[in-house]
Amino acid sequence: MSRPSQARAPGKVILLGEHSVVYGQPALALPLDRGVTVRCEPAAALRLKSVPAAGAHAMQEATEQVAAQLGNPLVEITIDSDIPLSAGLGSSAAVAVALTRALAASAGRTLPDDELLRLAEGMEQTFHGRPSGIDHTTCALAAPLRFVRGPPHQVTRLSVKKLEWVVALSGPRQGTKEKVLGLRQAWEREPERIGAKFAAIGQIVEAGQAALLAGDERELGRLFDANQAILAELGLTTPAIDALLAQMRGLGAYGAKLTGAGGGGAVIALHPEPAKLVRALEQAGVRAFAARWEEP
Ligand code: PMV
C-alpha cells in the first residue's frame, strides 16, 4: 500500500568555486531559504501531475528510476517550487531531493543521508549528465558546505552563524550541461592554461572559507569579485551579467558574482543593507530578493 506523503528541500547558491569544482577544486555552497515541496497521493499508477521545470521527459525517466529503487510506490506526484527555474539556484537538485524523500515516505521508508544522496545524485545525472554533486548535496544536507568532488565526495559542514546576501536575475541562460561541456572542450584544448585558472579559483575558495567562518563579509565580497574575474576569463559571463554586477557594486555591494553555471541566470552580492539593495534593483526593473542563512 502506498501512503500519502510530503517532503521539502531547499535550493542552493554556490558562493565560490562553480565549474572548478567539477575538476576537483573545493567550492562553498549555502542552502537557499526557498525550496521545492513534493506531495504524493496514492493512485493507480506512478504519475507526475505537475512539473514546474522544462524537461518533463527527463523528469519522468528520473522519477521512474528512483521509484523502482524504492519498491515502486504508486502515487500521483505534485511538485511546487518557489525557486526561480533554470537560474543556477538548484531547482532541479531540490526536486531530486524532495522527490526522493517523498517517494521513500510513500513506500513507508525514511532514508538515511547516504542513501538519499546516492538516489538524488542518480536523478541529477539523468537531468545533467555528470554534475559534480555539490547541488544535490547542499539541498539534501541543508547546511553551509565545503565540497570537494569524489568519489567519495569530501563534504564538510561549515559553522556559519548567519549570512544575508542578495540574489538577482540577469535573464535567461543555456543549460548547465552545455556550459560544463563548453568549458571541458576548452580545458581539453589547453589543459595547463585553463587548469591554472581552476587552481586560482581553488585558492580563492580557501580564503573565502576563512572569511565566511570569520563573518568577514567585506573580504568575502572582495573574493566574489576575484572569482567573477576568473569566471569572466573562462567565458562564463555575459554583458547582461556584467552590467548587473556593475550596478550592484555601484549601489554599494562589497562584491558580486554569477552563481551556478553562468551564461545568464542568477548573480549574488554581499551588501551592508541587503533589503536596500533589493529595493534599488527592483526600482530599476531587476528581479531580486534577499536570502539568508541562520544556524538553527
Ligand atoms: O547552474 P547550476 O545550479 O546547475 O550549478 C552548476 C554548478 C557547476 O559547477 C557549474 C556544475 C557542477 O556540476 O558542479
Write the pLDDT tens digit of every residue in 53-86.
Answer: 557 788 889 999 999 999 999 999 999 999 998 8
Query: From the CB of 19, is ligand 1 less than 6 Å away?
Result: yes
pLDDT on residue 196: 98
Of 133, 140, 91, 142, the closest CA to residue 265 belongs to 91
Question: Does residue 26 surpass a pLDDT of 80?
Answer: yes
User: Which pairing describes strands 75-81 and 47-50: parallel, antiparallel, or unpaired?
Assistant: parallel
pLDDT of residue 1: 73
Q: Is 202 in the pocket of ligand 1 (CB under 6 A)?
A: no
What does the pLDDT look like over 239-266, one tens digit per residue? 999 999 999 999 999 999 999 999 999 9
Catalytic center residues: 135
- Are 21 and 147 in contact by the 8 Å Cβ rule? The answer is yes
What residues contact residue 245 under an 8 Å CB cut-off, 6+ apart? 228, 256, 257, 258, 267, 269
> Using N-to-C axis directions, what is the helix angle for 217-233 and 239-250, rounded to 10°?
160
Q: What is the pLDDT of residue 40?
A: 97
Residues 6+ apart with CB under 8 A from 267: 167, 168, 169, 170, 241, 244, 245, 248, 256, 257, 258, 259
pLDDT at 178: 87
From 124, 136, 178, 180, mutation site for ligand 1 pocket: most ligand atoms within 8 A of C-beta? 180
pTM of the predicted model over 0.95: yes
Sheet strands (E) in the chain: 5-16, 27-42, 47-50, 75-81, 145-148, 154-157, 162-169, 255-258, 266-270, 288-294
Q: Is the CB of 11 under 6 A from ligand 1?
A: no
Res. 39 pLDDT band, cuts 50 70 90? very high
Return the number of other C-beta atoms located less than 10 Å from residue 156's C-beta: 13
| CA 71 to ligand 1 center in whole angstroms | 30
Q: At what angle do helices 176-189 and 191-214 cross, to 10 degrees?
A: 130
With cut-offs at 50, 70 and 90, classify the pLDDT of residue 291: very high
Taking the CA of residue 130 as reference, the ligand 1 atom at the shortest distance is: 13
| Substitution candidate for ligand 1 out of 135, 148, 153 with most atoms within 8 A of CB | 135
Lowest pLDDT segment from 52-56, 105-109, 207-211: 52-56
CA–centroid distance, 240 to ligand 1, in Å, is: 19
Instruction: Say how far residue 271 (Cα) sits from the centre of its chain.
Output: 21
- Is the beta carbon of 266 within 6 A of some atom in ligand 1? no
